[in-house]
Structure 1
Amino acid sequence: MELPKYSPLANIGSILVLVKDTRHQRIYHFYIKVEHLHKFQSAIQRIYHFIKSDLFVMAEPTFVQVFGAGATRLASGATTPSAGLFIADSALTGAGLATPSTATAEGHLVAIVVNAKSSLIQTSFEANIDQSLIVADGFSSFTTRGADNTAYRQDQLTLSLAKIDTSSTIDPNNY
């Protein structure tokens, strides 16, 4: 492989460190000019700290971000610190979430919506005037993401909300 003239690798004593973030489909390039071993070790330590920093990792959305203030994941047998909604792990695993205790907030939300899809269907909506929601399959599509243009499948679940037409905003109290 021939290196471009502007490449730091073209100089003796330079190395390229590639760090692949498989979760977010990114590759980071670090060019390091190594003159002494202690400088090389320091450069590797800087890369390590960058990887561990918030600048490098885009974390999964938290339970609070997905479900709102006060949301938390409780251990089995834990008592709740306040009143609120509780969804048993068995309901989540029944929807296909293999290990709720280590799953992401997004995984929990998908399991909840998949569960809701089994009962909030169009036919029950038409038969029950008190049902305000319908969860239905949408259309799958494909897209590419990340620096490597990795192919992703996008599956859709459509949530339709029906209410008496009094305003154009979505107010959870109306459903």
Structure 2
Amino acid sequence: MWTRILAALCLVLLTAPLSAQTKPRPWRVGFINPDIAIQAHPNYAKLKAVQEQAEKELKPLRDQIGQLSQKARGGPLPAKDQQSLQTLQKALQDGSKKWSERVSTVAKPLLEDIDREVRKVAEANGFQVVMDYKVAKASGIVVYAAPGTDVTELVVKELKK
């Protein structure tokens, strides 16, 4: 039993100098504004075009639904208008789903590129964590961020290479 205790004590004494020589690595958190990074991506024009097509198709449906909803606030809608409202709502729901899938398909490669560049910038600059600035601020998780923690411009620079 004493032999085990002595062996453990020797092990602690032998490793103590090694751990004393190892300096703790500073822990850094960075922030990015993903909207700026997305807009800086070389293929952002494709994404914007799909978003604009979606808006062009869906806006008239939303406007018509808004008009019928406004009319409904004044009193019960006639059966014809109720049917129109239901049809428009279904069309908006189906159209929104269709366009959401199209936007996601076009956005996916952009987001993958941005994630890759964020990873490279973080590793090159000693950041262990990079957070979405707006999410961190809105959630209240981050109260203060020191200057030099925003990696957005570094990522944008990498995207343009």
TM-score by length of 2: 0.26
Higher relative contact order (CA 8 A, sep 6+): 2
Higher strand share: 1
Q: Which protein is bigger by CA-based radius of gyration? A: 2
